[in-house]
Structure 1
């Protein structure tokens, strides 16, 4: 039951994966009977082409589910279906041309609109060139070929417009769902997802991750004395400073208010401490408010043997609390340890005062 729920959630959350999966089911149900029929009738080439399309679709769907990458399987299927439709049309003549309308819809659903337009145009160009060089092999007349080209181009145009608009709207919805509207960094939803992915990578491949929980010091005083507009400006400037201070692979999220989380992949505990020192120094030197400099307190923790994201975050939060209690404008990094089975207990941290950073 849990496995079926996970499958349903992946289909619900990943539009492209759901489309490729649907294409796989339609291919199995719709093309397989044609494959069997044509092989029994002795039409071996068309039957083998249909069988290849079905098998290729199944492999592409499995690859998409296993890796989470839907672009490459979509591109692969667009090429396979375009070539297969061309071959079927050359062998079945006018009866095979109807598959081009299905191909148009398919291409514009599984790959980006521009790539879809190129694949579809190449298929149409190939079948028209073949029909022109082989009179009556595919088209009964030039008038029929012209009508076919015009109707396919009109269908492609409308499919392109629909796919382009739909793709832009999906991207906008993803941004609204995963980005903080003020700072344009990841929000709490995006953070939860990324931390779960990090935990999975660590458990499967041993990839090391660290997190820094960042909290601006005395931020409420800024809002109270200078207004929320000044506070918003500080939050925007703060995220800009953090991005400049980090690697391209590091991910910044806003948990809420003035609290942020920085996810750092592929580094050691000493690297996490170095990153915390650099962030603290950069903020202290560069972040200004109408009332003067603004500082940040930081709690850090390596993923290591933590059994869950909650345990990982809990230890980092305790370190942040100790940095605040220690006088602010400093970082506290949890020392490396062998086991972290009890998230309610945080090992005695190493605190670094401002003068030591």
Structure 2
């Protein structure tokens, strides 16, 4: 996957990241001319506040892309924008009020609702205290219009976030089992590979295939087959850690991502998964087993090669009799190049 595709996938999949990025770009384009104008007029304090706000927001956008901490960065931006807007009101007088509406709307797009509401309350209080209104009616008109903008922003952002969650679930979750689907895998796996490579941490990837699934469908019907898949996912997820990720690749095939996991840890986890699947019948005269192939992340890997090695190990488990776990170690990559033995290796028994 190209860099541009990865960036687009992140923006498409994370609404708040998109908002923070758009806010940063628009802030730079919109505020930079006023920094120049105020500097030319020797309004150094106002120009400095604007420039400082731009630098903080630009730095926060770079930080959020590197770390993914959207809630923290959005909160910082909302606080900074509200404080700068309040101070500018005291410096610029009536002209400062015009920036208030932008800040009120931006707060809800950037920060959690409780913090956005608090920032808006502080900002409006500062506007009323520091602002220069001709009379009480003018102040009341400003407050009413500002509260309406705040209300509309809160409602709009709330609806947008809910619709985004619904669309994201439809696009990335398997409707039958509720597990993340292939599209989610193609987004998360490249990120996981990059993350673990940068930190030199071990990572395991496993491919699981339900044994004799066609026979189950033929003998018991597709409705029972669907129930078996749902039960299979529930059993697997019941023995996983919270950070592990199970994806439905298609049909009866699944992919399991085990972050920050050594070969020994993967061995124990996958044997636990295998035993959980075969432990209890899934219905009258119906037992299910899985064949599992696992590969450890190697320095030479990209995500397709890692997935391919795990898939090859899974097919080896099928060939060797099913209901077992086979490992394709990263060291065999060197064997591939030297023409050495490249058969996936069986996992030792764990108890």
TM-score normalised according to structure 2 size: 0.90
1:159 equivalent in alignment to 2:153: yes
Take 2:255 and 2:56, find their aligned partners in 1: how far apart are those partners? 42
What is the aligned partner in structure 1 of residue 253 from structure 2?
259
1:230 equivalent in alignment to 2:224: yes
Residues 178 and 190 of structure 1 are in contact (CA less than 8 Å); yes or no, is this contact kept in structure 2? yes
Instruction: Give how far 1:95 is off.
Output: 2.3
| Match 1:331 to one of 306, 325, 333 | 325
Residues 178 and 186 of structure 1 are in contact (CA less than 8 Å); yes or no, is this contact kept in structure 2? yes
1:239 equivalent in alignment to 2:236: no
Take 2:253 and 2:4, find their aligned partners in 1: how far apart are those partners? 36
Structure 1 residues 119 and 289: CA distance shift in structure 2, 3 A: same
What is the aligned partner in structure 2 of residue 298 from structure 1?
292
Tell me which moved more, 333-342 or 81-90. Answer: 333-342
Structure 1 residues 346 and 257: CA distance shift in structure 2, 3 A: farther
What is the aligned partner in structure 2 of residue 134 from structure 1?
none
1:85 equivalent in alignment to 2:90: no
Alignment size in residue pairs? 349
What is the aligned partner in structure 2 of residue 37 from structure 1?
37
1:125 equivalent in alignment to 2:125: yes
What is the aligned partner in structure 2 of residue 25 from structure 1?
25
Residues 296 and 330 of structure 1 are in contact (CA less than 8 Å); yes or no, is this contact kept in structure 2? yes
What is the aligned partner in structure 2 of residue 350 from structure 1?
345
Structure 1 residues 301 and 8: CA distance shift in structure 2, 3 A: closer
What is the aligned partner in structure 2 of residue 248 from structure 1?
242
Take 1:302 and 1:4, find their aligned partners in 2: how far apart are those partners? 27
Take 1:196 and 1:346, find their aligned partners in 2: how far apart are those partners? 28
Residues 82 and 103 of structure 1 are in contact (CA less than 8 Å); yes or no, is this contact kept in structure 2? yes
Take 2:229 and 2:126, find their aligned partners in 1: how far apart are those partners? 56
Give the RMSD, CA atoms, in angstroms: 2.6
Structure 1 residues 289 and 35: CA distance shift in structure 2, 3 A: same
Take 2:107 and 2:350, find their aligned partners in 1: how far apart are those partners? 59
1:314 equivalent in alignment to 2:308: yes
Take 2:323 and 2:91, find their aligned partners in 1: how far apart are those partners? 75
| Residue segments in structure 1 that go unaligned for 5+ positions in a row | 132-136
Residues 222 and 289 of structure 1 are in contact (CA less than 8 Å); yes or no, is this contact kept in structure 2? no
What is the aligned partner in structure 2 of residue 72 from structure 1?
72
Residues 241 and 286 of structure 1 are in contact (CA less than 8 Å); yes or no, is this contact kept in structure 2? no
Instruction: Give how far 1:298 is off.
Output: 1.1
User: Which whole-Å deviations, capped at 9, do the CAs of 1:56-87 have from their partners, x for residues lacking one?
Assistant: 12212222233333332221111111001111
| Residue segments in structure 2 that go unaligned for 5+ positions in a row | none
Instruction: Give how far 1:44 is off.
Output: 3.1
Residues 15 and 161 of structure 2 are in contact (CA less than 8 Å); yes or no, is this contact kept in structure 1? no
Tell me which moved more, 309-318 or 213-222. Answer: 309-318
Residues 21 and 61 of structure 1 are in contact (CA less than 8 Å); yes or no, is this contact kept in structure 2? yes
User: Which whole-Å deviations, capped at 9, do the CAs of 1:202-236 have from their partners, x for residues lacking one?
Assistant: 33221211112111111122222222221111111
TM-score normalised according to structure 1 size: 0.88
User: Which whole-Å deviations, capped at 9, do the CAs of 1:164-206 have from their partners, x for residues lacking one?
Assistant: 0011111111111111111111101111222212221233221
| Match 2:211 to one of 209, 217, 220 | 217
